[in-house]
Amino acid sequence: MPAASGTPRPPARSGERGIPEAAVARLPLYLRALGGLAEAGETTVSSEELAAASGVNSAKVRKDLSYLGSYGTRGVGYDVQQLVHLIARELGLTQDWPVLIVGIGNLGHALAGYGGFASRGFRVAGLVDADPARVGEEVGGVAVSHLDQLESIVRAEQVSIGVIATPAAAAQSVCDRLVAAGVTSVLNFAPCVLAVPPQVGVRKVDLSIELQILAFHEQRRNVAVAGVAT
């Protein structure tokens, strides 16, 4: 579970239902599950089905969807397309989000070619790397530019979200440059905590964290098995 460090509380706006942060974090899970149901030709879904497909319990599903003003129809469930629209609108995915990826190593390559971004409105508007040997290489249809171009790409493409996939040692200086150029949201894949001004949002991804949680359960299972054997 990545930390939401540095992400300021969003300001209240009139008519807003004040959806809790934890519920916001579950909306993408519902959206993905609904995409699968729509592909399978389903037009309605019960809260239990949506719960099973998204790995959330059904009471939480109903509560979360009620924040969006959606309560379903007794005996029928929720309309799949309507839910997709409500969630995408709530998350701001109905607009185009130009994204700049900094650091085009293996991870940057994987991110640049990741199909899940484009389908959610995240358009890779630029790729930059400090290594001149990488400049000009095309990844996912976008040519890699030199790190020197960071500021000009942010301005020309009106980038609001920067993705940092550099080594940890370079991450803070890249972050500072993104913020100075006008970026207000940063997704950090580098294994370090970034300092940002209060108006800038940062989310951190650590690829080993989920493995650590798996190890916890794996260890418990082993202890339980050993306990049964004695």
For a second copy, the binding residue among 40, 133, 207, 229 (CB under 8 A) is: 207
- Interface with a second copy, residue 115, by CB under 8 A: yes
Sole window of 40-48, 145-153, 173-181, 217-225 interacting with a second copy (rule: CB under 8 A):
217-225
What distances in angstroms separate CA 173 from CA 167, 179, 196, one per listed residue? 11, 10, 11
Candidates 38, 42, 70, 121: give the one binding a second copy (CB under 8 A). 121
Q: Under the criterion CB under 8 A, does residue 20 sit at the interface with a second copy? A: no
Contacts of residue 18, defined as CB under 8 A and 6 or more positions apart, other chains included, come to: 12
User: How far from 215 is each of 51, 219, 221, CA to CA, in Å?
Assistant: 25, 6, 10
Q: Considering only residues 48, 76, 81, 105, which one is a binding residue for a second copy as defined by CB under 8 A?
A: 105
230 binds a second copy (CB under 8 A): no
Site for a second copy in 26-65 (CB under 8 A): 26-29, 31-33, 36, 52-56
Closer by beta carbon to a second copy, 148 or else 173: 173
Pick from 34, 50, 83, 93 the residue near a second copy by CB under 8 A: 93
Q: Which of 76, 156, 180, 214 binds a second copy (CB under 8 A)?
A: 214
Does the protein bind a second copy through residue 221 (CB under 8 A)?
yes
Are the CB atoms for 22 and 1 separated by under 8 Å? Answer: no
Structure tokens at 202: 């940062």
**Pairing mode of beta strands 78-79, 122-129:** unpaired
Find the length of the chain: 230
Report the alpha-carbon distance of residue 205 to residue 187 in Å, rounded: 7
When the beta carbons of 73 and 199 are compared against a second copy, the nearer one is: 199
Question: Coil, strand, or helix at residue 169?
Answer: helix
Q: Which of 107, 130, 170, 181 binds a second copy (CB under 8 A)?
A: 107
Are 100 and 160 contacting, i.e. CB atoms less than 8 angstroms apart? no
